[in-house]
Structure 1
């Protein structure tokens, strides 16, 4: 107990999370090494989270809930803590995304998160730090959270993933030419998978483009559907059929007007060669 560090849970949400984790651990009579073994993390990692020196992740929070048998306590705490990195409604959406059987995405301006390379995601996060929109710690969490989302799709029976990207996504340079080359290569690899469809919505679609904001549509195993759409500052999750079905119809119309996958990949390959 000599090295026990006094905690100050009122100093920050991160400190409050750490203090709650210590209370739950000690309530079971466990040392940090015991909790580390149950969660499959190092005791050093547990200590860093408890003392507020390390930001917990979504995966860490889920693991803590399972190990300590506290329901979804730490997942809820993490959602409160991560409010600065996620738009309202998005953390709930991600919970469904990880178990969807079909995922339909439409994005404008940037490559969809599920298709981003770590370097591409890092540049976007660091840019937000430079603008003062998030802290460096939140940038780290934003990137880690995205990589967790991507890993959740690498399961034994992966979902079908349909992606339509506005042409601006592939023509907008993020992080320089070398980074974009790697990112465009990732897109071609994605398109080659048996459970994916990748299409580009070209600029000359004009008024036939059915969405002006990013849209995500999920189909769950019971065939129920939900939709998530967001603006610059707010996200909205819709489970009502009356709201989801019109968005699904608009998505199908968008797919019909977009380039085929073969033509989309050809455009991406031209960009990789530096051909306009």
Structure 2
């Protein structure tokens, strides 16, 4: 595709390229200069501008930093998420834009390992199952896994966010994929627990009714110390910034951390699961 042929109506990837080129030329910058600012080669920028290379989460975030659009409705990140949202639950794209900025992130999950801690193979098994059920297309399955890997990469930054994770015991007991897939996934949890900016706990079945959550809950603390929550049903997600409804979730999460197994005890439980012992 050459410059004369560039047409935003050809699709969202082309529209992204038109926007990127327009923003660059509006500043009077060359592709080489933008490439230096974004940390890419000029060939990569050219390919993005002409739609030959689709944007990634990393490149979108980089463009937002360069053009001062981070967190705005006109951000490149938002445009990127729109490209990918066919493989995502409604409500989740808006949450992702905040997760990438958060100073502290708290996850609770029941039944499945949360996305930021999943191995590629574990994520692929989940995506393949969704295809078999007819929930998504094979193309969306590929997008879902690649998007997850990019999401994980966006959490690797300096300084790193503090990430607290509490998993229902079902997460480590429910087999996903074959033994090798599950063993590698459990090993990944142990690696996560060993990082200096993370904490991992298991909420054992014995907590019973004392466990306050029954489905996914994400809590974010942004750099300005504002709070927001994200919860999911089977078909949609909900992002909430109202303190009157977010603070009860925060209190419940803190209570969950008090009652859950310690990190040392949790790692021991994970190792037991790897050996197939109760």
TM interval, shorter chain, is: 0.7 to 0.9
SS in structure 1 at match of 2:218: strand
Residue aligning to 1:159: 161
> Contact (CA 8 Å) 1:5, 1:51: kept in 2 or not?
no
- The residue correspondences of 1:121-132 to structure 2 (distance < 5 A) are 121-132=123-134
RMSD (Å) for aligned C-alpha atoms: 3.0
Q: Give the equivalent residue in structure 2 for 1:104.
A: 106
Alignment check: 8 A CA contact 1:57 1:141 kept: no
Structure 1 residue matching 2:160: 3-state secondary structure:
coil
The count of aligned residue pairs is: 274
1:131: how far off? 4.2
1 CA distance for matches of 2:136 and 2:25? 33
- Check whether the contact 2:77–2:97 (CA below 8 A) recurs between aligned residues: no
Q: Kindly report which structure 2 residues correspond to 1:42-191, keeping only aligned pairs within 5 A, or say none.
A: 42-67=41-66, 69=67, 71=69, 72-191=74-193
Match of 2:266 in 1: 264
SS of corresponding position for 1:243: helix
Please report how far the alpha carbon of residue 106 of structure 1 lies from its aligned counterpart in structure 2 after TM superposition.
Answer: 0.3
What residue ranges of structure 1 are gaps of 5+ in the alignment?
Answer: none
- TM-score normalised by structure 1 residue count: 0.83
Unmatched 5+ stretches in structure 2 = none
Distance across 1 between alignment mates of 2:121 and 2:97 = 24
**Deviation at 1:174?**
1.9
Name whichever of 220-229 and 4-13 sits farther off: 4-13
Q: 1:75 to 1:223 in 2, by over 3 A?
A: closer
Deviation, structure 1 residue 260: 2.5
Shift of 1:70: 7.1
Match of 1:40 in 2: 39
Q: Confirm or deny: 8 A CA contact 1:160 1:195 kept in the other structure.
A: yes
